[in-house]
């Protein structure tokens, strides 16, 4: 009984870690895209 509880707890922790990782990757990608757009706008306005 104890072992089953512990293994299910470990699975929950792993699932949570995966969800957090996915959210982090999404936020990182979004910020990179935004930075790229801002950089492109800056370069576009400066090179005219």
pLDDT, tens digit only, all 48 positions of the chain: 567 777 888 889 999 999 999 999 999 999 999 999 999 999 999 877
For residues 42 and 35, give the distance between their C-alpha atoms in angstroms, rounded to a whole number.
10
Position 1 scores a pLDDT of 58
Q: What is the pTM of this model?
A: 0.61
Place of tokens 């801002």: 38
Position 5 scores a pLDDT of 73
Q: What number of H helices and E strands is found in the chain?
A: 1, 0
Which contiguous run of DSSP H or E holds residue 1?
none
For residues 14 and 8, give the distance between their C-alpha atoms in angstroms, rounded to a whole number.
10
């Amino acid at each position: 009984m104890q072992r089953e509880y512990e293994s299910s707890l470990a699975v929950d922790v792993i699932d949570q870690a995966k969800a957090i990782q996915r959210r982090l990757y999404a936020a990182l990608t979004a910020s990179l895209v935004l930075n790229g757009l801002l950089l492109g706008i800056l370069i576009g306005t400066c090179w005219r």
